[in-house]
Structure 1
Amino acid sequence: MDKIDKQILAILQEDASTPVAEIAEKVNLSSTPCWRRIQKLEEDGVILRRVALLDADKLNVGVTVFVSIKTNQHNANWYSQFSNTVKLIPEVVEFYRMSGNIDYLLRVVVPNIAAYDAVYQKLTQSNALFDVNASFAMEQIKHTTALPLDYAGLN
């Protein structure tokens, strides 16, 4: 991955609907080589997909809840059941297995506390959980889907 690839990725991370001709102009290439580079980045799995970012407030899911979960179950069957349960809850938009004091971290988006409680009920009714702790975000200070590109190509 070279400097031009990184420039292309930066542009696409900002706006994936940018026309190839415009991207090409910004990175000093003609359209065809630029398009080929984008295709190669997709084939290589660097570009996973292109999506639309939506306004959570306008969709009435402006409340963000970070849910930390501890369990005393650390076996494949429990994990499979828990993972499948979480994946079926559309309000859970991020799901991580963690190191440290908590086992799992979820980011949940809902319209209000009552909607979070419904998510909480789904989580606790289908799985044996040791501790569930929810923190409600008061203010979003930074949010980006753009990944840092300075490390790309370094192994």
Structure 2
Amino acid sequence: MIDTPADETEYLSVKPKHDSAAERLAITTEPAERARLLLVMADAYYWWAERHTEVYGADLIEEDGVDKAVSLGMTFGLLRALASMETARAAGVPRERAANSTVEARGGRHLDALVTAHGLELRADLYEELHTVLVPVIGSQAASPLWQMSAAYYRLSEG
């Protein structure tokens, strides 16, 4: 629970860096830069996941049936997997698979396809499909960055 306003201020201290990375990610198609931005965002989600319960207490996301801290941790794992995919894409090599990962188990083939996918609309479609297969296992809130990335690629494809 929030004991002092300083607790919440510290918790939110990574938000400007996260938001800046998310804004840049929405307009960037270069894989190495996308990987870097995804890692910045993942770091923020890790920070929030580690501190959420301490700052806000138990916080159930009813639609997903999980605690907010767990959902934030799942988003962290998702963003790390996406950063790994973009790193492989930038290097032109197969991506490293995450061990014991829900994202890998359900979305691995989509991540593999994203490594080699060319064309903004195709990438948008793959992000949308990845969102669809992951929502049942990580929840809609944890998977929401995929929906945002799909929408960004669709916007970019329209010129």
TM over 0.5: no
Q: Compare CA radii of gyration and give the structure with the larger one.
A: 1
> Relative to total residues, which structure has the larger strand share, 1 or 2?
1
TM-score, scaled to structure 2: 0.23
Q: Return the structure number with greater relative CO, CA threshold 8 A, min gap 6.
A: 1
> Relative to total residues, which structure has the larger helix share, 1 or 2?
2
